[in-house]
Every structure is written in structure tokens, then in C-alpha cells.
Amino acid sequence: MVREYDYLVIGSGIAGMSFALKVAGEGARVALVCKTTLDEANTDLAQGGVASVTNLEVDDFEKHIHDTMVAGDWLSDPKAVRKVVTEAPGQIRQLIEWGVNFDRKDDGTFDLHREGGHSEFRILHHADNTGHEIQTSLIEAVRAHKDIDVYEHHFAIEIITQHHLGKIVTRRTPDITCYGAYILTPEGRVDTFLSRVTLMATGGCGAVYTTTTNPLVATGDGIAMVYRAKGTVKDMEFIQFHPTALFHPGDRPSFLITEAMRGYGAILRNKRGERFMGKYDERMELAPRDVVARAIDSEMKATGDDHVFLDVTHKDPEETRHHFPNIYKKCLSLGIDITKDYIPVAPAAHYLCGGIAVDTNGESSIKHLYAVGECSCTGLHGGNRLASNSLIEAVVYADAAARHAREAVKHIDLRKDVPEWNDEGTTHPEEMVLITQSIREVNQIMGVYVGIVRSNLRLDRAWNRLDILYEETEKLFKCSKASREICELRNIINVGYLIMRQARERHESRGLHFTLDYPPTTTINDKK
């Protein structure tokens, strides 16, 4: 079946839905595709909040810009940083218009949090489930819009380019163009979605690792599709591990203990009860995430322990329950009263700072293809994302992409000569066993060899092991009918390869990429 739209949006987080809302209407038809349901997205799990300068009495744009550059280890693109920081307040107003409720004080001003790496209190939030509040509000707005067709449980297999028209496409091919995507339906049929403009908003790739805070749908699909289509992907070595995921063996994904809790005053302690951050950084618990994650990793390796503790028992119990109701409830369900007991925590894969390279309009290297949100690389995050900068980046760049695409779409014709997907092949009875086992192998390879601390030896081992899995999976894909399972396996192998390869190419320890073969000669503190 062939479906035709002006805009095809692949992904249903804050980036995809806000873009869809801004381009829909005035005769434009929008398809919003998500592989499960609208509410299963990284956005929904974001606890901390949205960073924006709103209290002008103590804060300003230059402070936020400086904090972002410092956290990114000075690898951030200054233009992208200034764009996001200065346009943030306007997008906050837009979110409020869409129904998002941020917590306020009795006088009506925002109740701002402070998180690691921020010099001021500037985090707008809704209790400790800000992402859920944003996701719910946007879902209501999207479902109410008559010009947005929502396709849940639809899986994007590949974007359509000249390659599918029988032409040879390489990374040096000028003007690679996107004409839409092949989409796997819940019935197992592969439909052709033709579009004038396509937006990739598929989120991150945390599911490449065994331990992650991401929903398990975060398999890097958009990044893998664009890479296979010969698009530019960059900075994949910069994987942010959240320092404080709740340590509860068997949980996947891991429950996040928000950065805001450390901003609130929580203390990190090792299993002997000792506060240890002073050994690693003068900012203590409020150091950027890469610093804190490596400090925890170092403590765990020194003692052989599998976790450390976050201590908030010295704070007022009622205030703690008020600020962090969902964390309190979750921990209590496991027999941990955070007002009295230490919280066991350990780092977990959390956020991808790299991705599909885009310009200030959110356009990728492939014509008519935009990318927004965690799957994109705008240059904002550099070597390490500053806490709570991701949600605001998503809406700022979704706005930029929408404004640019609304003009571009007027001059783009639908490509009509696209062939249907070749769905020859069979389903092997043992296929699911092979896929499940291969995913576990990829997870193990990435966790052991491409984790918080790396080395050339570890990366070489990852290369060799992933190469074997890649060859096996491509053979299986070519002889199998398309399925979500085999496609996700291909994607996590592709993304794992990109992380590993780009890590090998960076011959320095910088930001989130820390390697034993190139020990850092400077620290973030030296550059303040």
C-alpha cells in the first residue's frame, strides 16, 4: 500500500510531536509514525526538567551559555548553544500554551531547580516527572489535531532514497534525497509512505547497552537508517551515563534518580558510608555528569562493589516527599524509605550527545530529511550534555525545522516512481532465538568494551566481535521476511559499530569519551 503525505514524522517524543503540531494545518497532511504507542518515549521518562533562563534577577543567557560550553568540554558549537539558550524562553511559553504545567511558587513564579553543571537555579519542572507531563500534554494536542494521522505500532525499516530507484549511492554522492520511508505495519505488511519532507525523531540508543535508563524501544533506529542511506552521523563516541540510576538487579530499563536530587542536596557515599566526590572534583555532587559517573565507576572498581549510595536522609522528610513523590514511591515499593535509608545507585547509559548531523535548521546531509531530538547532533552538547538541556533543544530545533520545512515543502513534489518493498523471504523457526541471543551479545560487548572507561584494546575487541554479529545478521536479514525484531537487531549493531568506530578515531580523553590510552592533560576545572 502507498500512502502520501506532505510531512512524515518518525518518532513520537517531544521533538516529533512538537514538529508535527507546528507544520500541520493549512491543507498540509502529516503522518506521525511510532513503533509502539505515543506515550512510550524517552521524553516520558525525563524526570529532571527543562533548562531555561527565566529568573532575570540572578540569571542571564551568558551564564547558561558558559555552563553549557564548560559541560561540553568546549566541544559544543557556539552557534548552536546560543540559539538554544536564547530561544528557550519562547519555547517554554509554547509548551505552556500546549497545556504543560510547570511547578510554581505561591507568588506565581516558577519553582526552579538546580542541577549538576548549572551555576544558577534555572530548571523548570513538574514535580519529578516533568517528561510525563510534557508527553501527556503533547499527546492530547496531537490527537485533537484533524490534520495529523497517528500510526501506532508502525516500524520504519528504511528511508527511501535514490538507492531504491536502482541508482548507486555512496557517501560522496551529491544531493542524496529522501522521498519517505518503508514502514512495517502491525499486520506484517510493508507500506510505502511517500512524503515531501521527512523528519527523523526516533530518540536515542540506550538499549544498545544492558544497563540503561532508556525505554527499550531506544534502539537507535533513525541513526542506523540515515547511516545506511549514506547520511552523515557524528560524535557517537559521546555516550552519557547517568551517574545515579537506581541499582536494582534485573530491572531493564533502570529507574532514574534525577539529577535534581543532587541539586537538592543529596550526597554520594561509598558502601563504607564515606562521602567521596571531594576526591574527584571541587564541585562535589554538582559536577557535570561525566565527572560524577567516572568518580562512581572509580569507587566501585576500587572496592569491587556494584553500586554506591545517594544519601538524602539529612533533608526534611516532608520536603523530600513533596519534591520527589515518584522516586519516594518507587523506592518505598522496594523497601527503601529515602527519608531514612540510603538509595543504592550506579551509572547507566542515559543519553546520546551525537547522532545525525544537522544544521541550524535541523536539516541533515540528505535533502528533504530533517532530524530533531536525541537522534540528531546539533552541536549543542559537544562532549557532554548539560543536565536538562535536551528537552529544550528538542523544542527549539523542532521549531527551527518546522519553520524551514514549511517553506521548503512548497517547492518539493512527491516522488511517484518508488518501487514497493521487496518482501520475499521466509521466517525461520529459530530466528527469534538467534535474534535474542545476538542482542544480548551486543549489549555485553558494548557494556564491557565501550562503556564509561575505554582503551584501544577494548575497542579492538568490540570491533572484532561486532563484525561477526554484523555479517551473521545481514545474512539473516536478506533471507528473512521483515520483522521489527530483525530490524532492531540490525540497528543496534549499526549504532554499536558507530559508537565504537568513532571512539577509536578520537585520540584523546574528552568529555564523555575517556580512554586509558590517552589520559587527559587538562580537566574541565582547568578551563573554567
Taking only the tens place, the pLDDT of each residue in 328-378 is 999 999 999 999 999 999 999 999 999 999 999 999 999 999 999 999 999
C-alpha–C-alpha distance, residues 293 and 243, integer Å: 4
Cβ 253 vs Cβ 206: under 8 Å: yes
Tell me the CB-side half-sphere exposure of residue 65, using CA atoms within 13 A. 14
- Domain of residue 269 covers 244-348
At residue 528, the pLDDT reads 42
DSSP string over 452-468: SEE-HHHHHHHHHHHHH
Cβ neighbours of residue 66 under 8 Å, at least 6 residues apart? 119
The answer on 217 and 256 residing in a single domain is no
Element (H, E) at 243: strand 239-246
Check whether residue 137 and residue 204 sit in a common domain.
yes
pLDDT (mean) for 9-21: 95
Residue 187's CATH number: 3.50.50.60
Is pLDDT at 429 greater than 80 in this prediction? Answer: no
What are the catalytic residues? Answer: 289
Residue 495 lies in a domain: yes
Q: pLDDT category, 44, cuts 50, 70, 90?
A: low
- Quick one: pLDDT at residue 158? 96
CB 110 within 8 A of CB 54: yes
Q: Name the pLDDT band for 61 (thresholds 50, 70, 90).
A: very high
Note whether residue 10 is domain-resident.
yes
pLDDT band at 250 (very low <50, low <70, confident <90, very high): confident
**120 and 167 co-located in one domain:** yes
Question: Is there a single domain that holds both residue 293 and residue 342?
Answer: yes
Q: Do 304 and 223 share a structural domain?
A: no
- What is the reported pTM? 0.92
Angle in degrees, 0-180, between the axes of helices 78-97 and 390-408, rounded to the nearest 10:
90
**Residues 455-493: tens digit of each pLDDT:** 999 999 999 999 999 999 998 888 888 899 999 999 999
Do the Cβ atoms of 383 and 267 come closer than 8 Å?
A: no
Number of domains in the chain: 3
Closest residue by Cα to residue 357 from 240, 239, 231, 237: 231
Characterize the bridge pairing of strands 343-352 and 308-311.
Answer: antiparallel
CA distance 347 to 308: 10
Confidence label for 16 from pLDDT (cuts 50, 70 and 90) = very high
Per DSSP, 254 falls in state P
Phi, psi angle pair for 215, to nearest 5°: -60, 150
In a domain, 520, yes or no: no
Query: Do 206 and 265 belong together in one domain?
Result: no
- Boundary of a domain, candidates 326, 348, 370: 348
What is the number of other CB atoms lying within 10 angstroms of the CB of residue 119? 14
> pLDDT for 300-325, tens place per residue?
988 899 999 999 999 999 999 999 99
Query: Is 422 domain-assigned?
Result: no
Q: Which three cell numbers stand for residue 214?
A: 532508556
> Length of the chain, please?
528
Does residue 419 belong to any structural domain of this protein?
no
In order, the DSSP letters of 259-290 are THHHHHT-EEE-TTS-B-GGGT-TTGGGS-HH
87-124 pLDDT tens trace = 999 999 999 998 889 999 999 999 998 888 899 999 99
Q: How confident is the model at residue 526 (pLDDT cuts 50, 70, 90)?
A: very low
From 302, 320, 348, the end of a domain falls on 348
Same domain, 148 and 233: yes
With respect to residue 221, please indicate whether it lies within any of the assigned structural domains: yes
